[in-house]
Amino acid sequence: MWDTWSLQGRVSRGWAVALAWCVIGTLGILLAGCSKPAFQNIDITGNTSFPTDFSLPDTSGKVRTLADYKGKAVILFVGYTHCPDICPATMAELSEAMKQLGSDASRVQVLFVTLDPSRDTPPVLLQYVHAFSPAFAALRPASDAARDAFAKNFRLVYAKVPGTTADNYTLDHTAASYVFDPDGHLRLYVRDGQGPDPWVHDLKLLLKS
């Protein structure tokens, strides 16, 4: 004959164990949901030392801000069209990354911001970015002062290197990009020369979040 209290104890302990596993499972799900995405580039989510927006004219003269690209991940890459190496290499990486994203590429906006507004006129900029993708766009500070303010806000470093003539100069500049998520939050700092795979990996994470 079963001892009533013994049986009750076994039943109670069984429910306790089941409840414990349920709680552990729930916490696991919650913790997984709260954990930060495993980005392959530098995660700067929540870093308050960077600006939360920008305001620059595009090649048509219309001033653009993040609000114009709501619902898209925005890649802000800064360079200049006469750049002999880093800029075209990065733009080619981004072009390939968009191809690998397939239909998700429509939810990403690449913006090329020039540090050389005197030579990079709107037609020159438009031709340059469209050589890599017709979906890419360009932004051009209206003056050197506006360029300097933008660079300071985004903590960009650049310096003019004289060439053989007054117009034949180059610019040493920070070789990196900033990425905003579809909600307009600054999330990633991406260094150059990493190839398209990290771009694709991280953009997929941002588009899912």
**Same domain, residue pair 29 and 55:** no
**Same domain, residue pair 54 and 101:** yes
Is 83 assigned to a binding site?
A: yes
The rounded Cα 83 to chain-centroid distance in angstroms is 22
Lowest-confidence segment of 34-48, 69-83, 177-191, 195-209 by average pLDDT: 34-48
**Same domain, residue pair 61 and 111:** yes
Residue 35's pLDDT is 57
The helix/strand/coil state of 81 is coil
**Same domain, residue pair 54 and 13:** no
pLDDT (average), residues 40-48: 94
pLDDT digits (tens, 9 = 90+) for 155-166: 999 999 999 998
The total domain count for the chain is: 2
pLDDT digits (tens, 9 = 90+) for 101-143: 999 999 999 999 999 999 999 999 999 999 999 999 999 999 9
Lowest-confidence segment of 18-32, 40-54, 60-74, 191-205 by average pLDDT: 18-32
Cα–Cα distance, 159 to 161 (Å, whole number): 6
Cα–Cα distance, 203 to 73 (Å, whole number): 8
Res. 28: pLDDT tops 70: no
pLDDT (average), residues 149-173: 93
Range of the domain at 195: 42-208
Cα–Cα distance, 164 to 167 (Å, whole number): 8
**Same domain, residue pair 77 and 172:** yes
| Residue 97 pLDDT level (bands cut at 50, 70, 90) | very high
Residue 19's pLDDT is 36
Residue 137's pLDDT is 98
17-47 in b/e form (b: 16+ CB < 10 A) is: eeeeeeeeeeeeeeeeeeeebebbbeebeee
Res. 26: pLDDT tops 50: no
**Same domain, residue pair 30 and 52:** no
**Same domain, residue pair 173 and 198:** yes
Cα–Cα distance, 207 to 103 (Å, whole number): 12
**Same domain, residue pair 109 and 150:** yes
Specify whether the backbone of 102 is left (phi greater than 0), alpha (psi in -120 to 50) or beta: left
Residue 175's pLDDT is 87
**Same domain, residue pair 19 and 100:** no
Q: What is the pTM of this model?
A: 0.81
**Same domain, residue pair 21 and 54:** no
Residue 209's pLDDT is 76
Res. 3: pLDDT tops 60: no
**Same domain, residue pair 52 and 15:** no
Q: What is the CATH number of the domain that holds 90?
A: 3.40.30.10
**Same domain, residue pair 88 and 189:** yes
